[in-house]
Amino acid sequence: MRIESERLVSLNPATLEPVGSVALTDPADLPGRVRQARSAFPAWREAGLDARIRIIRRAEELLCAQAEEIARLITLEMGRPFAEAFTTEVEASIDLLYYYWKHAHKFLRDRRVPLHSVFFKTRKSFIHFQALGVVANITPWNWPLLIPLGVIVPALLAGNAVLFKPSEYTPLVGEKIREVFIRAGVPEDILINVHGGAEAGRAASASGVEKVFFTGSTAVGQAVMAQAAALLTKVVLELGGNDPAVVLDDADVEIASSGILWGGFNNCGQNCNAVERVFVHRRIYDRFVSRLVEKSGCLRIGDGMDSGTDIGPLATGAQRDKINRIVRAARNSGMDILAGGNTLPDKKGNFFTPTLITCEGNGDVIPDEEVFGPILYLKPVRDDDEAVRLANASQFGLAASVWTSNLRRGERIARQLESGTVMINDAVVSFGMTEAGWTGIKKSGVGWMHGEKGLDEMVNMQYINADPLFHTQKMWWFPYSEKMVAAIRAGLVFLFSRNILKQAAAVPAVLKHFTGYLVLNRPKRDKL
């Protein structure tokens, strides 16, 4: 990425050549753009859910028709192999649109709240959903299509307007997203794009929106939350991870090594839920590591547009430099580099070889940081308890995986892991399962994306309680009296006593005091 004449130029990380450019947004303009969106919001909200569903269905059709073109754009802007962009990101994005319009009525209709108390059995009680207004969506470069759509689609369906800031490294994908929705029928002022770097992101967060959705690093997420706190702006933060894989002694070594290889190195490891720390039972450790080294040596590194490429470049030069620093630190601490660990100077782009680092000694401590690149740390463990203890020894809690031939054992381990998501015998792809709510614990996030809970983040939940007995004086209203206290006293015994004899003895008092309230006739009451 570079800036030229007030334009943001997107660079291909495999060749470092320009892909295209977009106009930079002046951060000072953002409050005005939010006012513009807020003016358009009422008409969009009042257009009705069926009208919005038709537009999202049309957007799905347009995305389907342009699937390969968009996959190529993803590859050109951020480097991931075309086959990967097409099969994992674009397909999952189309499915996300389908899932949300298909379930929009179910998710957004009023939800009945049954009331258990006999005092309120006649009441109508429900949750009603109201659109928030204008929301800001600030997204990273590593999944430039799927991550933004995880906010934009449910936000639009719920009736909101969206201020969308794509990453400065993938602005062309961001523009393609807006183009698809505008062509589908979303009004121009309901989906507004903002282009720029960190300053534009800060301005978007502080622009007066009703809620900020941010996906990115934990450090930046903390800054977004601090800024939002000063304005009492609601936030959803999807942040970093240092995601563990636990390989049990009954795991299929062939399957586990292939799955973890993919879980650690797909998208060149640039996934917040990528496998980074691998804890393997000692009984199978040597076999597992041997197969992992052998398989990593077969991975083909190159331009993502070449059909034979398995691993593309890192998306930015800064990311390549970070991975270099991590590998140097591991070497300096005495850890062994079993595979990779270097850049490719014969290639022009931001390439780095898939790297395996062993931490076999008791003194070898895996750094508690998000790698976000093609590095796997490998450490043997004595038993399940040690694996769980080491996996949980992190400030992060985003995703984890367990590898075993015994699903019951795997589920037992999964329940002990401190992680928002755990997959058994697979990794990463749960983010592409739209109905699977996505969240992080510890320093990995606040709030939800995807699924019904993801749509709940797009609305204000309003509780409504209606009493059809509009002609009935409530017994707890003024004036207070000994008669009212006696009624409640009898009711408490009848409803909550664990002594059947006491409950039976309370029946006459309950009938005496509550009959006037339970029947539809107006009860006699004292005047104030």
pLDDT of 513 strictly over 90: no
Residues 391-410 have pLDDT tens digits of 999 999 999 999 999 999 99
CA distances from 154 to 159, 254, 429, 506 (A): 9, 39, 20, 52
Inform me whether the pLDDT recorded for 518 exceeds 60.
no
168 is catalytic: no
The whole-number pLDDT of residue 523 equals 42
Lowest-confidence pick of 57-66, 462-471, 517-526: 517-526
Domains in the chain with CATH codes? 2-239+452-462 (3.40.605.10), 243-433 (3.40.309.10), 469-528 (no CATH)
Is 238 among the residues known to form the active site? yes
What pLDDT digit, counting tens, does each position of 472-504 carry? 888 888 989 888 898 889 989 999 999 999 999
What is the maximum alpha-carbon separation in the chain? 94
Q: What is the DSSP string of 255-282?
A: HHHHHHHHHHHGGGG--TT-EEEEEEEH
Provide the mean pLDDT of the chain: 94
Reply yes or no on whether the pLDDT at 527 is more than 70.
Answer: no
The Cα 436–Cα 439 span in angstroms is 10
Query: What's residue 470's pLDDT?
Result: 84
Q: Which of 268, 272, 276, 370 is catalytic?
A: 272
Phi, psi of 396 (to 5 degrees): -100, 160
Portion of the chain with pLDDT greater than 90, in percent: 88
For residue 374, the model assigns a pLDDT of: 98
Q: What is the mean pLDDT of residues 56-70?
A: 98
Cα(187)–Cα(69) distance, rounded to whole angstroms? 24
The two tokens of residue 189 are 């002022």
The Cα–Cα gap between 108 and 56 comes to 15
Q: Could you tell me what percent of the chain has a pLDDT over 70? A: 97
What backbone phi and psi angles, to 5 degrees, belong to 121?
-65, -25
Span 447-474, pLDDT tens digits: 999 999 999 999 999 999 999 988 888 8
What pLDDT, on a 0 to 100 scale, did the predictor assign at position 517? Answer: 55
For residue 526, pLDDT beyond 50 = no
Angle in degrees, CA 221, 226, 229, rounded to 5: 120
Catalytic residue among 60, 77, 84, 238: 238
Asked whether residue 516 carries a pLDDT value surpassing 70, the answer given is no
> What single-letter DSSP state applies at residue 87?
I
Count of CB atoms situated within 10 Å of the CB of 235 = 19
For residues 191 and 176, the answer to whether their CB atoms sit within 8 Å is: no
CA distance 175 to 170: 9
Give tens-digit pLDDT for 335-392: 999 999 999 988 999 999 999 999 988 778 899 999 999 999 999 999 999 999 999 9
H or E element in which residue 427 lies: none
DSSP class of 345: T
Enumerate residues 6+ apart whose C-beta is below 8 A from 161.
37, 38, 40, 41, 44, 133, 134, 135, 189, 190, 191, 192
Distance between CA atoms of residues 513 and 524, nearest Å: 12
Whether the per-residue pLDDT at 528 is higher than 50: the answer is no
Tell me the per-residue pLDDT of 431-452, one tens digit each, with 9 for 90 and over. Answer: 999 999 999 999 999 999 999 9
Across the range 269-296, mean pLDDT stands at 98
Question: How far from the centroid of its chain's Cα atoms is residue 90's Cα?
Answer: 17
Rg (CA), the chain: 28
What local confidence, expressed as pLDDT, does residue 475 receive? 82
